[in-house]
């Protein structure tokens, strides 16, 4: 399970090592925020898609 998490971090360009100073922190933190936003966006789309089909409605 840990390896899967590290692979996901590598996909978004995030290293598993914590940043050593503030100049390393901002790009690292921005990459985490972008990855988290994409993660939530994709699952939000999936949720809306399943709710639409569960109601039996049209797009």
- Predicted local distance difference test score (pLDDT) of residue 46: 94
Three-state SS annotation for 15-56: CCCCCCCHHHHHHHHHHHHHHHHHHHHHHHHHHHHHHHHHHC
Q: How far apart, in whole angstroms, are the C-alpha atoms of residue 35 and residue 28?
A: 11
- Predicted local distance difference test score (pLDDT) of residue 53: 85
Domain ranges of the chain: 23-59
pTM passes above 0.85 = no
Cβ pair 59, 52 in contact under 8 A: yes
Q: How far apart, in whole angstroms, are the C-alpha atoms of residue 28 and residue 17?
A: 10
- Predicted local distance difference test score (pLDDT) of residue 40: 94
Query: Model confidence over 2-58: pLDDT tens digits?
Result: 888 888 778 877 777 778 899 988 988 888 898 889 989 999 999 998 988 888 766
**Angle subtended at Cα 14 by Cα 43 and Cα 49, rounded to the nearest 5 degrees:** 10
- Predicted local distance difference test score (pLDDT) of residue 42: 94
């Amino acid at each position: 399970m840990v390896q899967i998490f590290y692979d996901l971090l590598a996909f978004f360009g995030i290293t598993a090592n914590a940043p050593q100073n503030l100049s390393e922190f901002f790009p690292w933190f921005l990459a985490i925020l972008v990855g988290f936003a994409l993660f939530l966006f994709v699952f939000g789309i999936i949720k809306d898609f399943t709710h639409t089909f569960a109601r039996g409605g049209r797009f």
